[in-house]
Amino acid sequence: MPLSTDVLVKEASGLPYAERAKLVDTLLTTLDPVIEDDCDAAWFAEIGRREQALADGTAQTHSWEEVKRQAREKVNG
């Protein structure tokens, strides 16, 4: 019977740092690189779109003070 993620995480958390790092690296290599490539391509396309909107003046921007004010309103209700 396969171990649950919670059990695996608990067991792996007890490993020395170097072993945990090796485990993480090994697990990351099992991810589908095609999905990562698609994601990277989507992010680069979004970055390009945002850069163009800034360059041509169509981007809606906000000052840092406005962003902080809005965040405070959301946190404080």
Domain ranges of the chain: 1-30, 33-76
The string of pLDDT tens digits covering residues 6-44 is 999 999 999 999 999 999 989 988 887 777 678 888 999
* pLDDT for 47: 94
Rounded average pLDDT over 55-76: 95
Distances in Å between the alpha carbon of 57 and those of 16, 44, 50, 60, 63? 52, 20, 10, 8, 15
Please give the pLDDT value at position 3: 83
Residue with tokens 């809606």: 60
Please give the pLDDT value at position 21: 93
Contact 20, 12 (CB under 8 A): yes
- Mean pLDDT value across residues 44-62: 94
